[in-house]
Structure 1
Amino acid sequence: MPYQQKFDAPWSRQLKWLTALTSLLLVGIPAVLLNRAPENPPSLYMVSVWLPLVILALCTLFAIRGYAIDDNALYILRPLWKTRISLEGLIEVKPDPEAMRASIRVFGNSGLFGYIGLFRNEKTGPYRAFATDQQKAVVMRYPDRTVVVTPGRPDKLAALLEEKIAGR
């Protein structure tokens, strides 16, 4: 599918550290447990060995590789698929490096390959995030929801989306 514009999804220093440390932990736990496993380990023991690796694999699949725009949607590019966010009903777009500050995760991932899921804070209210660098936040407001993305060029993405709002 040809996109009008693509944007990278740069990782913040914080995300790099969180991902590296968490990945090390999720790989280290099974390594230690397998090294110390009893001769005939119980099923629960084996679940505790494999569960961290399953978590790591699933989070890897949900990582954000970039963003793309066509006439009607913004796409969150993932390793094996893309998430489509319709531009229908979009009423406001603005870059805001403070949009994710002091957020509470309601449901999702806060630092393993991204900040992905449902969050809430006093400034932005409830929102859905597809983020890799909180300082590059672009807030997309709809009548019934808010979406935050973090492209490498937040001003450029916001300007393109503003053009689409104005062109309706």
Structure 2
Amino acid sequence: MTHLTFDVVHTPIGGLILVYEGDALVHADFEDNATRRKTQLTKRYGEYAYEERATPHAIVERFQRYFEGDAKALDELERDVVLSPGGSDVQRRVWTALRTIPTGTTMSYGGLATRIGLPGAARAVGAINGQNPLSVIVPCHRVIGASGALTGYAGGLERKRWLLIHERALGTEVARQ
């Protein structure tokens, strides 16, 4: 059985549960996504148990700065913690590419597929995007439909809209959709 630890970082859009394997951050998702969290952790680890432990101050501080308006505060989170999302080679390519979308911008699923050398694989990239185990940190919320519409987000479209407005990536016409 794998032993994991967790902590909750409180944000303006809900508690964000951070799950660790040792010192590596393996999962970050909103508290109300318990079923998704359990499914992803079971798929990765099989049988596991976890207990609460305090997140190191430097990591909490980065999240606080991000949610207080420093939209780039999470860009260098890897200075403070090892990010270990797991996944297949293709999943890791998608998740790595997501981290290259600049704060304050968005990209279409098709654009992301092309960026990783899989033109025409927008749907597959969308599915992988939806399996992102490091919500907010790996900014899957920055990916939108080809038409500019907000589409799918495991945390809910209201959170996606909030994050994009927070990062100044949405104009008012899209923010009202």
Larger Rg: 1
The structure, 1 or 2, with the larger RCO (C-alpha pairs under 8 Å, 6+ apart) is: 1
**Normalised TM-score (structure 2):** 0.28
**Normalised TM-score (structure 1):** 0.29
Q: Which has the higher strand share?
A: 1
